[in-house]
């Protein structure tokens, strides 16, 4: 099959536009601000609640939190043990995952390499987390979220369609 030079140039142009668009994506910066310190008791239903914000680091002095995305729920602090503890405060790079039953979610990269599979995903109760961060709207029960899928969808829209957009999360 012979292809015209016009087809080749259009393909090359499309490729250049795609690469240029991805390269120009502004990194998404998120900030998780926890409501309270870690619960002192470690009952099965204990949790840490907070709020997730998108922010522009260049404007962090004028708006220290940023734009509200959703409420969060985490397991209590249990010495950073895999699957049963919230994560330490700090900064984390993240990437998109779409495999498995949870669908679209963010996976945080632990800079200390102690933990793996730390994710931000949908869920309503502490039992829906294995050391991850759940998104939703806080209900009247302190350790229960509602509208989790809507919150994840909102974060996904904010992130955009590219799976190569840089993402940084500050956990406070």
The pLDDT tens digits along the chain (172 residues) read 444 444 443 333 333 333 434 445 789 999 999 987 655 556 666 899 999 999 877 665 556 678 999 999 999 988 899 999 999 999 999 999 998 888 899 999 998 889 999 999 999 999 999 999 999 998 777 789 999 999 999 999 999 988 889 999 999 8
Helix, strand, coil percent content, the chain, rounded in steps of 5: 20, 30, 50
Residue 96: strand pairing partners: 106
Residue 53 CA to chain centroid, in angstroms? 10
Q: What angle do CA 133, 72, 159 make, to 5 degrees?
A: 75
Phi, psi of 169 (to 5 degrees): -125, 125
Q: For the residues of 59-95, what is the DSSP string, one character each?
A: GTTTSSS-EEEEEEEEPPPSTT-TTTSPPPSEEEEEE
CB-CB contact of 37 with 50 (8 Å)? no
Domain boundaries, the chain: 25-171
CA–CA dist 133, 86 (Å, integer): 8
CA–CA dist 171, 167 (Å, integer): 13
CA–CA dist 46, 127 (Å, integer): 10
* pTM for the predicted model, two decimal places: 0.80
Number of Cβ atoms within 10 Å of the Cβ of 154? 17
């Amino acid at each position: 099959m012979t292809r015209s030079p016009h087809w080749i140039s259009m393909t090359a142009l499309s490729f250049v536009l795609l690469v240029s668009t991805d390269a120009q994506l502004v990194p998404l910066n998120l900030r998780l601000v926890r409501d309270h310190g870690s619960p002192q008791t470690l009952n099965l239903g204990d949790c840490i609640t907070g709020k997730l914000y998108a922010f522009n680091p260049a404007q962090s002095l004028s708006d220290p939190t940023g734009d509200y995305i959703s409420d969060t729920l985490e397991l209590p602090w249990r010495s950073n043990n895999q699957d049963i503890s919230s994560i330490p405060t700090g900064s984390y790079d993240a990437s998109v995952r779409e495999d498995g039953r949870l669908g679209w979610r963010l996976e945080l990269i632990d800079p200390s390499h102690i933990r793996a599979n730390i994710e931000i995903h949908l869920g309503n109760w502490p039992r829906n987390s294995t050391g991850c961060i759940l998104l939703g709207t806080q209900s009247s029960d302190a350790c229960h979220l509602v509208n989790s899928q809507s919150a994840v969808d909102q974060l996904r829209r904010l992130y955009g369609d590219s799976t190569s957009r840089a993402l940084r999360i500050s956990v406070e």
